[in-house]
Amino acid sequence: MEKKKHILIACGTGVATSTVVSMRVKEELEKNNIQATVEQCKVSELPSKVGSADLVVTTTSYENDEIPVIRALSFLTGVDVEADIEKIIEILK
């Protein structure tokens, strides 16, 4: 059995917007049969958490050279959500 993926979902405060994004990401992972742990956090916490993650999905700007980062404002605006979901699924497969 392959290792469960670990996704960090970060927003400025680690509460409101990351909850919206995290619920949607979990839904899509289930639809695509992808086993993953989805953890919400503040962007300021990313440096200490990112080592164990396979992917970072954020609603604010953040960059990391070690792992993929998707800036998913689409989950809040509703524009291009499908494209971001495809990217997430692609990275985790």
* Catalytic residue numbers, as ranges: 11
The set of residues, in sequence order, having a beta carbon less than 8 Å from that of 38 and lying 6+ positions away, is: 7, 9, 22, 25, 26, 29
8 A C-beta contact, residue 15 and residue 78: no
Q: Measured between alpha carbons, how far is 93 from 79 in angstroms, rounded to an integer?
A: 24
